Amino acid sequence: MGATAIQLGDFEALAREGLPPEVWAYLAGGAGDETTMHANGEAWQRLHLVPRVLRNLTTAHTQIELLGRRWAHPIGIAPVAAHALFHPEAECGTVLAAAAQGAACVLSSQGSTPWAELSALVRDDPGRGPLWAQAYWQGSLARTLALVEHAAQARMEAVVLTVDAPVHGARDRERRAGFVLPAALSKANAVPGSHPPLPAFEHPPLCGGLLAHAPTWGAVGELIRESPLPVVLKGLLHPEDARRAHDLGAAAGWVSNHGGRTLDTAWPTAHALPAVRAAVGPDWPLLVDGGIRRGTDVVKALALGANAVFIGRPAVMALAAQGARGVAHALRLLRDEFEIALALCGASHPGELHTDWVRQT
235 annotated to a ligand binding site: no
234 annotated to a ligand binding site: yes
Query: How many whole angstroms separate alpha carbon 91 and alpha carbon 112?
Result: 7
361 annotated to a ligand binding site: no
59 annotated to a ligand binding site: no
CB atoms within 10 A of CB 149: 16
| CA gyration radius, the chain | 20
140 annotated to a ligand binding site: no
Q: Hey, what amino acid is at 262?
A: T
79 annotated to a ligand binding site: yes
46 annotated to a ligand binding site: no
313 annotated to a ligand binding site: yes
Does residue 73 have an active-site annotation?
no
Task: Please list, residue by residue across 107-127, b when 16 or more beta carbons sit within 10 angstroms of its beta carbon and e when fewer do.
Answer: bbbbbbbebbebbebbbeeee
162 annotated to a ligand binding site: yes
108 annotated to a ligand binding site: yes
Beta strands in the chain (DSSP E): 47-49, 64-66, 69-71, 75-77, 104-107, 131-135, 159-162, 231-236, 252-255, 286-288, 308-311, 358-360
At residue 132's C-alpha, the angle toward residues 130 and 137, to 5°, is 165
Query: How many whole angstroms separate alpha carbon 181 and alpha carbon 347?
Result: 44
Query: Looking at 258, 271, 329, 354, which residue is catalytic?
Result: 258
The interaxial angle of helices 313-345 and 295-303, nearest 10 deg, is 70
289 annotated to a ligand binding site: yes
52 annotated to a ligand binding site: no
Instruction: Please report, in range form, the residues annotated as the binding site for FMN.
Output: 79-81, 108, 134, 162, 234, 256, 258, 289-293, 312-313
Instruction: Please report, in range form, the residues annotated as the binding site for glyoxylate.
Output: 26, 136, 171, 261
Instruction: Please report, in range form, the residues annotated as the binding site.
Output: 26, 79-81, 108, 134, 136, 162, 171, 234, 256, 258, 261, 289-293, 312-313
- Write out the catalytic residue numbers: 258
